[in-house]
Amino acid sequence: MICTRCPALCASRTRIVLPDLPEFGRPHLLVIGEAPGADEDQQGRGFVGRAGRTLHRLLEANGLSRGYDYGCANVVRCRPPDNRKPTAEEVQNCLPFLSELLAKVQPAVVLAVGDTAAAVFFQNRRGLSLGEKIQALQESDHCPRAFLEYGSLLDLRWPFGSKLVVMPHTSPLAWNRSSPDGRKWSEVGEAQIRLAANLVRSATTP
């Protein structure tokens, strides 16, 4: 893949980190993060740093295996300078790739990790906090269609029947903070991963 849409990212990246999908078949779950970090940029594979390993451990504890049950991707495919958050322009530049991936893979469940990843699915409700996004999805049976801008790329490409689950970032700094309801974000995250695993089982069990 060759892409030069974002000059700052072209200057900062070692390589473009492409989605990591099962070799055979389609993943039942697609994990979507914010952007590659230093480890991902060096290895060319997403979710291999400390935060990624935490996520994989929790998914495996819930019966989901990387490369078989789930694949991984990022909203932005290049590492931002100094691991900063991607800009709105950088996110918009990469959204066509994400929308194409969703349409191709047709996952039963999408797990958005961190508020930057979650925010792309709340295009017309940008002011919601992460906790409010979790609540809004619970009330909408985990279908994000009501929160996507009508006619946008993600609205047009969102797979029919796919569920969306959002969770806090698994970095130690975010993971150990307290959520507005007093629970640790780690507790919220573990609950959301269990939810995603249960939704996968519901969608794939005859």
What's the pLDDT at 37? 92
For residues 141-169, average pLDDT: 95
- For every residue of 20-61, DSSP letters joined together read B--SSS--SEEEEES---HHHHHHT-SS-SHHHHHHHHHHHH
Rounded to an integer, what distance in angstroms lies between the CA atom of residue 140 and that of residue 124? 15
Using a 10 angstrom Cβ sphere, with 0-12 exposed, 13-18 middle and 19 or more buried, the burial of residue 182 is: exposed
Which structure tokens are listed for 147? 């929160």
Please provide the average confidence, as pLDDT, over all residues in the chain.
Answer: 94
What's the pLDDT at 139? 97
Name the nearest CA neighbour of 70 among 31, 15, 122.
Answer: 31
Using a 10 angstrom Cβ sphere, with 0-12 exposed, 13-18 middle and 19 or more buried, the burial of residue 109 is: buried
- pLDDT value at 199 more than 90: yes
Rounded to an integer, what distance in angstroms lies between the CA atom of residue 105 and that of residue 132? 28
For residues 192-200, average pLDDT: 98
Q: Which residues contact 31 (CB under 8 A, 6 or more apart)?
A: 47, 55, 59, 70, 71, 72, 73, 111, 113
What's the pLDDT at 172? 85
pLDDT digits over 13-68, tens only?
A: 999 999 999 887 889 999 999 999 999 999 999 999 999 999 999 999 999 999 99
What's the pLDDT at 66? 93
Rounded to an integer, what distance in angstroms lies between the CA atom of residue 163 and that of residue 14? 33
For residues 94-113, average pLDDT: 96
What's the pLDDT at 14? 93
Domain spans of the chain, in order of start: 7-204
Rounded to two decimals, the pTM is 0.96
What's the pLDDT at 166? 98
Question: Are 66 and 72 contacting, i.e. CB atoms less than 8 angstroms apart?
Answer: yes
Question: Are 108 and 70 contacting, i.e. CB atoms less than 8 angstroms apart?
Answer: no
Question: Sheet harboring 70-74: ordered strands across?
Answer: 70-74, 29-33, 109-113, 163-167
What's the pLDDT at 23? 83
Write down the architecture of domain 7-204 according to CATH: 3-Layer(aba) Sandwich (3.40)
CA end-to-end distance (rounded Å), the chain: 38
Rounded to an integer, what distance in angstroms lies between the CA atom of residue 192 and that of residue 206? 23
